[in-house]
Structure 1
Amino acid sequence: MSVSAHDEAGEDPGFWIVLSLAIACGVTVANIYYAQPLIGPISETFHLDVAASGLIVTIIQLGYVLGLIFLAPLGDLVENRMLILTTVGAVIVSLAISSFAPNVSLFIAASLLLGLTATATQMLIPIAAHLTPENKRGQVVGTVMSGLLFGILLARPVSTLIAGAFGWRGVYVLSAVAMIGVFTMLSFTLPRRKPQHAMNYAGLIRSLWDILLTTPPLQRRTAYHAMIFGAFSLFWTAIPLILQQPPFSLSHVALSLFLLSGAAGAFVAPIAGRLADKGYGDALTFGAIFMVAAGFVLVWIGGGSSLWLLVLAGIILDAGVQMNMLVGQRTIYSLAAHIRSRVNALYLGLFFVGGAIGSALSGFAVSHGGHVSVALVGLCFPAITLILFGLELFRRKS
């Protein structure tokens, strides 16, 4: 059955399709996060200094932004199943190149391609929204997002453990194998969907600017999450660097356990989705801003001596990030169905710019003040978000 048929009948997509979408999202999106705790050993291999090491993650995220702008909108233009399978195949190729890159130039090029093609994840989430009737959309998207969030949060501990046993190149090899499994699974479970459209690719890309300018809910939610995601990227790129230095000097296993703690935040997604369906979006947004800020306050207090405070900071911060993202996606998926892939691409692409900025600042913050600088820079992100959200509430009352 096509997705468009689901939309017309208002049917439920079913357990196995939702599960396969969640698994595919998680395994695919993990590829843009594996490098975060590995920038130390990757930098050693290619002789990069600490201040420049954050650029490895930044290149992947910038590739992801480009993919969201130039590839993900194709979900509104071409048959979705073919598009997704082709993009997943390209992910496998980019992982293979990264695994055996002999120099930093080829590795960076492969990283850019990896980020570009990992946008297959953001082709899958709109399909979940298309498949689902309005009254269940937040719940189903939240379930698929749980898979994506587990992928994001488990990517770092998994890559650290694998790198400890097989080196950082082993992470990319095993990920390529996992993506072959995803390709095979989606070949059986992914429904066909042919979008109804009357434009070519050039018109599709040009329409992105018009959509952004004429869709205030998209503008607001994108601005909020760009800041929140910048905080997220800063934390998870900078803190592993701090924990590998004295006084912590964590081993690969210990660091992976720390990184695993953040996965607890993924359990918030289905709950936040249900609350968003019931109209609690503003309360969830306030809660998300507060939680992200609280995470960096804990970094300031305990970042130089207390591992447990850093664990707590990671859990609280991740939960806040997931809450804010769910509210944002629930809002933009309530917009017109025929622009859903483009709206999603704009939302993800623009907030990943915030993530790229956070990653780029991580190496500088660690090398110029350690955990205190990380906390101060990190607190700027939720502070800006609070100001923007406050302005929205003021405009509503006016």
Structure 2
Amino acid sequence: MRNTSTPTSSLPNLTTLTLWLMTISSGLVVANNYYNQPLLGDIARTFQVPESKAGIISMLTQVGYAIGLLLIIPLGDMFRRKRLIITELILVILSLLLAAFANNIYTLMLASLLIGATSVVPQLFIPMAAQLALPENRGKVIGTVMSGLLIGVLLSRTVSGFVGAHLGWRAMFLIAAGLMVVLGVALYFLLPEVHPEYKGSYKSLMTSLVSLVKEEPVLRLAAARGALTFACFGGFWTTLVFLLEEPPFNGGSAMAGAFGLVGAGGAIMASVMGRLADKVNTRHIITATTLMIIISYVLFGTFSHSLVGLVVGVILLDLGLQATHIANQTLVFSLNPAARNRLNTVYMVTYFTGGATGTLLASQAWQLWQWNGVVLVGIVFSSLALLVHLFFARKHKKKLLA
């Protein structure tokens, strides 16, 4: 691939304040993608549509995120990072307001697509943190930012479930818009600027994505593993609220949101997993964590009427997913320092395409076969992830040492 990068310029130090600012910001922004999940039952009743149609809202958010990753994140290699992040936050606010005031299901679907497309800011923070970190601490730093991101993903459901139960689903989107305004002000004054290294046109920037896919087998492998495991995650969390509304639980958005607290405890372990990725062969880590995801779905199927069984399954699912994700990203960011945003683009577009696919298939499986169908979808995707990992990782064993 033609080198269109300039030598690495002087970078700001990765201070504790900067790291925590990126970590907290990642959690707050990514939460926008998941507020809708515990609210799908309420949304379906508001617009008088089937649950499967309401489930499309969650799927479109994931599709929007993939679109934003593809079209926006590569710009992190081309434009000043801070300016790009602030611009994105303005677009996020407008998208959230559109969702809050949607007067029909189709407007809300459009707003959900836009929310996903504009909430990609965390994927600018992660390569930025990797760029500023010392090589020997890269996994630890990625794990720290990912802790914030994952806690945001999981607690977003708890918060939105509570708000939805007491104030209605529209209030959640208004509150989220207010949070983005506050965050934008904090980032404007506190986030250091990182200047780009890439020198070239947007066309050549996007063309280089194809070259990276062709030239980096480890990137292809990591992206495939990530997509298959995230499909399991998206499928579970989208349909959980439907299960909890049925007997014997007879719950709703608040109960579904409470499950986010369970997963959040495991998300705190992300920084630990990042440290492991700095020291341990990631091939072994991913084998173990993918098995955790398979076991979680076995528990979901076996103990579908037990809160304890579901709780244990959620812990295994979330810990397995985040550990796999961090190990994948640590490998990806070690490939080409000048192209970290583009490497992240390829990985994350594939990742969220997998999540959208899992969400869509699980929603349809629920409509046809209820919870057993959801479990089947999860077991198929997680088993495929393990097979891809075991068979193809061997070909690149030397590159997979970390």
Which TM-score applies when normalising by structure 2?
A: 0.94
* Counterpart Cα distance in 1 of 2:328 and 2:397: 21
1:10, 1:133 within 8 Å by CA — same for their partners in 2? Answer: no
* Counterpart Cα distance in 2 of 1:393 and 1:180: 44
Name the SS of the counterpart of 1:119 in structure 2. coil
* Counterpart Cα distance in 2 of 1:122 and 1:238: 26
Residue of structure 2 in register with 1:59 after alignment: 60
How many equivalent residue pairs? 392
* Counterpart Cα distance in 2 of 1:382 and 1:372: 15
* Counterpart Cα distance in 2 of 1:366 and 1:70: 32
* Counterpart Cα distance in 1 of 2:12 and 2:194: 15
1:264, 1:319 within 8 Å by CA — same for their partners in 2? Answer: no
Residue of structure 1 in register with 2:370 after alignment: 370
* Counterpart Cα distance in 2 of 1:18 and 1:198: 27
* Counterpart Cα distance in 2 of 1:85 and 1:324: 30
Residue of structure 1 in register with 2:116 after alignment: 115
- For 1:263, the aligned partner's letter is A
Residues 249 and 80 of structure 1: CA distance in aligned 2, closer, same or farther (over 3 Å) = same
Q: CA deviation at 1:8?
A: 6.1
Range that drifts further, 360-369 or 35-44: 360-369
Name the SS of the counterpart of 2:19 in structure 1. helix
* Counterpart Cα distance in 2 of 1:318 and 1:347: 19
* Counterpart Cα distance in 2 of 1:10 and 1:200: 23
Residue of structure 2 in register with 1:266 after alignment: 267
- For 2:337, the aligned partner's letter is A
1:27-65 CA-partner distances (Å, limit 9, x unpaired)? 000000111111111122222212222211111111100
* Counterpart Cα distance in 1 of 2:340 and 2:273: 21
1:92-111 alignment to 2 at 5 Å? 92-111=93-112
Residue of structure 2 in register with 1:283 after alignment: 284
Name the SS of the counterpart of 2:268 in structure 1. helix
Q: CA deviation at 1:12?
A: 4.9
Q: CA deviation at 1:207?
A: 1.3
Residue of structure 2 in register with 1:388 after alignment: 388
* Counterpart Cα distance in 1 of 2:253 and 2:61: 23
1:227, 1:354 within 8 Å by CA — same for their partners in 2? Answer: yes
* Counterpart Cα distance in 1 of 2:67 and 2:279: 34
Residue of structure 2 in register with 1:327 after alignment: 327
Residue of structure 1 in register with 2:170 after alignment: 169
* Counterpart Cα distance in 1 of 2:261 and 2:397: 42
Residue of structure 1 in register with 2:48 after alignment: 47
Q: CA deviation at 1:344?
A: 0.4
Residue of structure 2 in register with 1:311 after alignment: 311
Name the SS of the counterpart of 1:290 in structure 2. helix
- For 1:367, the aligned partner's letter is Q
1:202 partnered with 2:212: no
Identity %: 35
1:1-398 alignment to 2 at 5 Å? 12-303=13-304, 305-396=305-396
1:146, 1:269 within 8 Å by CA — same for their partners in 2? Answer: yes
* Counterpart Cα distance in 2 of 1:138 and 1:397: 19
2:244, 2:252 within 8 Å by CA — same for their partners in 1? Answer: no
Which TM-score applies when normalising by structure 1?
A: 0.95
Range that drifts further, 193-202 or 93-102: 193-202
* Counterpart Cα distance in 2 of 1:76 and 1:153: 29
Range that drifts further, 349-358 or 361-370: 361-370
Name the SS of the counterpart of 1:191 in structure 2. coil
Name the SS of the counterpart of 2:200 in structure 1. coil
**Unpaired stretches in structure 1, ≥5 consecutive residues:** none
- For 2:44, the aligned partner's letter is S
2:97, 2:174 within 8 Å by CA — same for their partners in 1? Answer: yes
* Counterpart Cα distance in 1 of 2:295 and 2:331: 25
* Counterpart Cα distance in 1 of 2:357 and 2:216: 24
